Amino acid sequence: MIDTCKILKEAKSIAVVGFSKNKSKTSRQIAMFLKSVGYQIFAVNPTIDEMEIEGVPVFKSLLEIKQRIDIVNVFRRSEDIPEIIEDVLAIKPKVLWLQLGIWNDAAVKPVKDSNITVIQDTCIYVEYNNC
């Protein structure tokens, strides 16, 4: 069993793939919560032109982030997960975390095979609050 509390206690940086400009969207709310509790957050969304939103740097892809990422937290549909796998493998985070309702066993297999921890269908906010 994966110890999500240990992962969250050890992590310092989180890239949020699917970060939204819309303040009412869950991806934005959870990213801002994670920032408020001390994580360094990097927003990833190719459709956002701003370089920063509320103190969170915004990137078009994971590959643009020059700092080591501990957790890649994904807010994308399950069928969109294959699109990010190559970038995840390139940056080698400690954890690929797919939010509640998001899973794609076939797509994440190469990530698991690369010894990157994979968490699927689990809300990072809920897990943080349960620690």
Tens of pLDDT, residue by residue over 59-71, are: 999 999 999 999 9
CB 119 within 8 A of CB 96: yes
User: What's the pTM?
Assistant: 0.96
Fold of 4-130: Rossmann fold (3.40.50)
Structure tokens at 126: 């809920």
Ranges of each domain in the chain = 4-130
- Of 3, 29, 2, the C-alpha closest to 16 is 29
Compute the distance between CA of residue 15 and CA of residue 74 in angstroms, rounded to an integer: 8
Query: What is the pLDDT, as a whole number, of residue 102?
Result: 97
- Of 93, 94, 100, the C-alpha closest to 125 is 100
Query: What is the pLDDT, as a whole number, of residue 1?
Result: 80
Tens of pLDDT, residue by residue over 74-130, are: 999 999 999 999 999 999 999 999 999 999 999 999 999 999 999 999 999 999 999
Q: What is the mean pLDDT of the chain?
A: 97
Query: What is the pLDDT, as a whole number, of residue 13?
Result: 99
